[in-house]
A and B are shown apart, each in its own frame.
Chain A
Amino acid sequence: MKKPVAIELKNITKTFGEVVANKNVNLTVYRGEILSVLGENGCGKTTLMNMISGIYFPDEGEIFVNGEPVMIRSPKDAFAYKIGMIHQHFKLVDVFTAADNIILGEKMPVYSVTEETKKIKEKMEKELADVSDEKKKKIQAKYLAKIGALPFIKLGKAFKFGHLTKNRAKVLQQIADQYGFEIDLSKKIYDMSVSEKQTVEIIKVLYRGADILILDEPTAVLTPQEIKKLFDVLRKMRESGKSIIIITHKLNEVMEISDRVAVLRKGEHIATVETKKTNEKELTEMMVGKKIDLNIERPEPVDPKPRLEIKNLTIMNKEGGKAVDDVSFVINGGEILGIAGISGNGQKELLEGIAGLQKTESGDIIFHNPKKNKPVTFFHKTLKQIKEMAKQGFFHYPDGKKVDLTGMKKKEIEKLVNEEQILFYEDEIIDLKHKTPLEIRELGIKLSFVPEDRLNMGLVGNMSIVDNMLLKSYRKGKSIFVNRKKPKILADEIIDELEVVTPSDMTPVRKLSGGNVQKVLVGREISSSPKVLMAAYPVRGLDINSSYLIYNLLNQQKQKNVAVIFVGEDLDVLMALCDRILVICSGRVSGIVEGKKAKKEELGLLMTKTEE
């Protein structure tokens, strides 16, 4: 059985300056089907969809909706053709409730009494044309009554709209319930989690009567449970005859949800295949253009010793609630500790707390600086501190003798330190609670944080790659001027090793695609040989190639005896990559499981575990 065509693209081409985003793309979407658009980052998926939803206008080619050629010049036009797009970055007013956001821009329907009167009169005259006199009066009376009622109808409609405005939350809630969305629409947007915000966007589009829904990477920010719910909703929509286009690069989801898959590569449409008749491997090959190994390695941890001890850590959020609540765990050097949890459950605060960016309420963060048999330096210690520590017997000479500095002159001590003659007996134990972010960074605890907005923390969008490398090193040296030589070398190294796609090392970071931004950030943090590396969602929004590159980088760090904390969202990846997985829920540790033994269901359950 062939379904009716909902939308058809013919030979669509779009260029931005010299960059060809889409080239002669042909695509057909049927009614009542879910089509996945699959492709690596920067292959033109989003551009293509933006042309359907009226954000861009194609340079060449035609779009057909329901078989008719159309010109979609603006999102408003797209809406007129019942096309709705849910963007990756939500476009919602934060201080409004969900319901307000959904009806935002809705106008009271125009209802002109004079025009309606005219219409009724015309109708009446038509009817009066061939009727007997007696009947005429009756009909006239009937129509006059209708005309007379018009102002009241108008009033009634105004009331109805007023009612809708007043009870918008209730009315919209019905729509939400109908599709099985679990959401409270009277909540303010700023109180909502990412998944709730996404739901609001979907309801908004549905409320406006869209038949063709485009979702731009909808699962990138959701937990397995949320994804499942979303997919259930999407299936319900499909049953009610809507066409759904999902942009994604998660293969397992493609296999799970879609009826057909369209693969794009470098702006060109490679093929559209039926999901049943293909498999993940084939799709990957189409997507990347070459064969790829989809296994993640997990080397055994070497010499795991505690590196970072978190003891009863509590961190407040801005509203005064507990974002991190009495969290305790230990992370060893040479292992990858995964942190699983629904986003917004304290992961961000926990990592920021460790990095010194969040004020901690109570608890300790103890850092074991792996200094055993390593020389002491003036890097973090003043002469006075070194003297004090020597008194307490922290140091030994290379020949094993205990260091005694009493009675020594300043110059002599300085000479000893500079010649690396004073060594630590044991690992240095440092309480991070009272250290500044800068001191913590310099101790080697690196945060490669990737929040919702990649460029918000860690990188400066308007600065070149070189200047972004400079961020971490510009303070070095006594000169009042910055030195860009070393950062430039580093930038070129990272571009080279991590295959960053960029016109040059002087290109502003904001002009790079998401994956490349990520590589620059992670590359910079790794380059300084960290002792603890915290990476939050480092592969969010990355394509397969780049994701595996990042996994490999983390593994390399692990083998260099770095303690790696990996906050992830893809449970499959967490289970494959991490040695242990800590599950966090409402700011509390709900369990720590071994990566090898972990089961997805178990993790999912822990993620939503509520107080007993």
Chain B
Amino acid sequence: MNEKMKKEPLVHIIKRADIPQWKSWVIRIGAGVIGLLLCAGFSCIFSKDFGGFFAELFNGAFGTERRIWMLFQNIAILLGIAIALTPAFKMHFWNIGAEGQTLVGCLAGAACVFYWGGEIPEGALLVLMLVCSMIASVIWAVIPAIFKALFNTNETLFTLMMNYVAAALVSLCISIWVTSGSGVLGILNFGHLPKIMNQQYFLNIIIVVLITLFMFFYLRYSKHGYEISVVGESTNTAKYIGIYVKKVIIRTMIVSGLFCGIMGWILVAGTNFTVYADIVGGRGFTAILVSWLAHFNPFGMILTAFLVVFMQQGAAQVNTVYQLGPSAFENIIVGIFLLCIIACEFFINYQVKFRVKNKNATPEKKEKKTTESAEREEKA
């Protein structure tokens, strides 16, 4: 038996049974601060200005009135897509196809404008756009759901592949619509959502707030929401109490698709007024993260969506001010920050205990050391 074997392990990793709410928030906020410091450190390598990073970060998000509106608009879009995804995730249906589902919603909306714009009244056009967007998105969402329900097809791959089909479909449509050869569909002149208080994005934000409220109550207090949780947790139990699992899967994906459609509609009618293959811009994937980080709680998602968008916008500003080149810099900054936020979940679920040195110490000393190590761990 060698000496090494006799030592207590340096760190214990213990699964926490329960953690007080405040403690988990201390850890989360701590992780956020560490993330920001790391980001600042990273940008400091290029800009040689540590403090300036923070200034520009806030400047980028809150600097001007327009930026604040952009911030809220971007939060609204990201949050909306995350909300749309959430019922499926809660059902443990790993839908990573929000990108495509939203995109076909956009396409259907744009198609309405393209073919009927100017021919029918603006109000009717908007409603038509909404309906078409919702139908298109529902179709996109429900196809994998049907396959999952009937043939138990893997939904992750299926929904992912549907994204590419959607993108290709958009490119195809644009190549048909745009005959000039530029390959870009310009700003459409019809089907714009009305401005409120002279702000184009205000209505978008209101709609997303309503969606968020609806989803919160839908998931928490409705029978559908309850069924979704049961199916997600245990299909056997669901069958036992008489839930038709297939029906719930399909119904939930229809709900998810409906909201993706609304988001596609908002993107076309309230934000970009056109359609292109990258209009969703990866937010269908970022939304997954937003939803997960908030533990599928719609109100939590407001916070996580804010964090993501805040970092994106702030990092872009830092990038511009210090002329750090391509957008890769922004992505790295956002990546570092999010990594810290995600990693801190480990410390919420597990407790890391360090070895107590000097085993022969008096009990009082020992106790003191453990509290010290606990404190150290909290700081970490």
Contacts and interface: CB of A to CB of B under 8 A. Distances in A.
Interface of A: 16-17, 19, 57, 68-71, 73, 77, 80, 355, 357, 436-439, 441, 447, 449, 455-463, 467, 470-472, 474-475, 479-482, 511
Contacts of B222: 480-482
B221 A471 contact: no
Contacts, number: 86
B8 A71 contact: yes
Interface string B1-39: 100011111001010111000000000000000000000
A239 B374 CA distance: 48
A436 B229 CA distance: 22
A57 B224 CA distance: 44
B154 interface: no
Contacts of A463: 229-230, 233
A16 B236 CA distance: 31
Interface string B210-252: 0000000100011111100110011011011110000000000
Given A57-B9, A70-B5, A71-B5, A481 B223 contact: yes
Given A447-B240, A470-B226, 10 more contacts: A17-B16, A71-B8, A355-B240, A437-B240, A439-B242, A441-B242, A458-B237, A460-B234, A461-B234, A482-B222
Nearest to B16: A17
B241 A471 contact: yes
Interface of B: 1, 5-9, 12, 14, 16-18, 217, 221-226, 229-230, 233-234, 236-237, 239-242
Contacts of A470: 226
A472 B237 contact: no
Contacts of A457: 234, 236-237, 240
A142 to B, nearest CB: 34
Contacts of B18: 17
Contacts of B5: 70-71, 77, 80
Contacts of B6: 69-71
B104 to A, nearest CB: 29
Given A57-B12, A71-B8, A460 B230 contact: yes
B223 A482 contact: yes
A457 B6 CA distance: 45
Nearest to A437: B242
24 contacts: A16-B17, A17-B16, A57-B8, A69-B6, A70-B5, A71-B6, A71-B7, A355-B240, A437-B239, A437-B241, A438-B241, A438-B242, A439-B242, A457-B234, A457-B236, A460-B233, A461-B233, A461-B234, A471-B230, A480-B224, A481-B217, A481-B222, A481-B223, A482-B222
Contacts of A480: 222-224
A455 B241 CA distance: 14
A481 to B, nearest CB: 5
B241 A472 contact: yes
A357 B240 contact: yes
A461 B233 CA distance: 7
A459 B233 CA distance: 9
A381 B21 CA distance: 50
Instruction: Give the top 10 A-B pairs by smallest Cβ distance, nearest first.
Output: A438-B242, A460-B233, A457-B236, A481-B221, A73-B9, A17-B17, A471-B241, A482-B226, A437-B242, A462-B233
